[in-house]
Amino acid sequence: MTKIKLLLLIIMTVVVSGCFPSNKSGKAEILLQGRTMGTTYNVKVVSTLEHVKSINLQQQIDDALKQVNQEMSTYIPSSEISQFNQSRTTEERVISEGFSRVLAESLRLGEMSHGKLDITVGPLVNLWGFGPEFRPEKVPSAALIAQTKAQTGLDNLSLTGNKLAKAKPELAVDLSTIAKGYGVDVVAELIEANGFTNYLVEIGGELRLKGVKSTGELWVVAIEKPITTERSVQQFIVPKDNAMATSGDYRNYFEEDGVRFSHIIDPDTGKPIKHNLVSVTVIHPSSMTADGLSTLLMVLGEEDGLAFAEKHQLAAYFISKSEHGFTEQFTVKFKQYLK
């Protein structure tokens, strides 16, 4: 998550910091920005600046995100997840509510996909050079891949309520595929607890929105074109009161002999995925779930991913690379969100 991924361009009514159109009741879109999880966050609430300041909303957001990081960031050596990863005991330990909530959802999606979403792939992610450790100059040997793969596997992790244990001492958990989405949910819940009904929360491209803008119109967001050289819009989306997450490898890869290696690993092969699917966007009420599902569908690839999404009635949008550029496909449930 160190790499800043801004897949989504938020369409702002007026792109002037802190100054947005006021409506009849004097409310405007108040923008709060900061940094978290190796990327940026943008929050908009329809309110007045005085009110947002009086409740110290930005501080509340920063504190909540700090806690998420202290629980789930593999980049913080003292975090709860790092401690679990470093420990060499197979005895169960009591973990925080947030950590168990994200683990439970990750395991549910892992089971649902027969292990394609696998939060124990961390050692393989590192081996291929996309984790907290450094990037390899070349492709690892088959023996090393097999050896590293033997350290992984969802079967080696057990969660009972808020008690977590690993069956192999060296097993490590990597929540980078879902933690950003969870962070968005935490901020959205915090905003709702403060009484706001019209807001937008975005962390590194994952977002969740509710209600309307200060003008009374629905929030509109855009999926970016999957090209690395310039930023332009592929499709406008109106997600309504939902979260939207995108998984895509076109900004995060390394190349050897003209072959691109993605930062997403197929747990069955122990290798980065290699197919024509370049990005998957999922719309779901929970940002955490949308985030996990978008990666899961990315691992499955174009054909299996689309079949999986239809079978489970997911709202998903796929962009694939073809001879003639890019092609888009979406599920029946996604159609309603296209603008």
Is 202 a residue that touches Mg ion (CB under 5 A)?
A: no
| 166-167-168 Cα angle (round to 5) | 95
Judge whether 98 and 182 are in contact, CB under 8 Å. Answer: yes
Q: Which stretch binds ligand ADP (CB under 6 A): 19-27, 76-84, 117-125, 305-313?
A: 117-125
Hey, how many other C-beta atoms are within 10 angstroms of the C-beta on 214?
Answer: 23
Closer CB to ligand ADP, residue 57 or residue 201?
201
**Least distance to ligand ADP from the beta carbon of 283, Å?**
15
Taking residues 127 to 166 in sequence order and writing x for each that binds ligand ADP by CB under 6 A, - otherwise, the string is ---x------------------------------------
User: Should residue 308 be labelled a site residue for ligand ADP when binding is judged by CB under 6 A?
Assistant: no
Task: Report, in Å, the least distance between residue 174 CB and ligand ADP.
Answer: 5
Cβ closest to Mg ion, residue 39 vs residue 295: 295
- Is-contact 321 228, C-beta < 8 A? no
Closest distance between Mg ion and the C-beta of residue 177, in Å? 4
Instruction: Give DSSP secondary structure letters for 7-42.
Output: -EEE--SS-STT-----TTS-EEEEEEEEETTEEEE
Decide if residue 82 touches ligand ADP (CB under 6 A). no
Q: Is 71 in the site for ligand ADP (CB under 6 A)?
A: no
φ/ψ of residue 222, rounded to 5: -130, 145
Measure the CA dihedral 94/97/103/108, to 10°.
120
Task: Name residues contacting Mg ion, limited to 228-247 (CB under 5 A).
Answer: 247
The phi, psi pair for 33, rounded to 5°, reads: -130, 150
- Count the site residues for Mg ion by CB under 5 A: 5
Tell me, by CB under 6 A, how many residues bind ligand ADP. 22
Q: How far is CA 297 from CA 20, 25, 304, 312, in A?
A: 37, 43, 8, 12
**How far is CA 200 from each of CA 27, 208, 339, rounded to the nearest angstrom?**
15, 6, 18
**Residue sitting closest to Mg ion (CB):** 295
Give the separation between CA 52 and CA 42, rounded to whole angstroms. Answer: 15
Interface with Mg ion includes 176 (CB under 5 A)?
Answer: no
Residues 196-255 that bind ligand ADP (CB under 6 A): 247, 252
Give the integer Cα–Cα distance in Å for 29 and 18: 8
Q: Which residue among 152, 295, 320, 331 contacts Mg ion (CB under 5 A)?
A: 295
Query: What separation, in Å, do the N-terminal and C-terminal C-alpha atoms of the chain show?
Result: 30
Minimum distance from residue 241 beta carbon to ligand ADP (Å): 22
Q: Which residues of 150-161 are buried (b: 16+ CB within 10 A; e: fewer)?
A: ebbbbebbebee
148 binds, among Mg ion, ligand ADP, none (CB under 5 to 8 A by kind): none
**The only residue of 291, 305, 309, 330 in contact with Mg ion, by rule CB under 5 A:** 291
Residues that bind ligand ADP (CB under 6 A): 1, 5, 117-119, 121, 125, 130, 174, 176-177, 180, 247, 252, 263-265, 267, 291, 295, 298-299
Residues that bind Mg ion (CB under 5 A): 177, 247, 291, 294-295
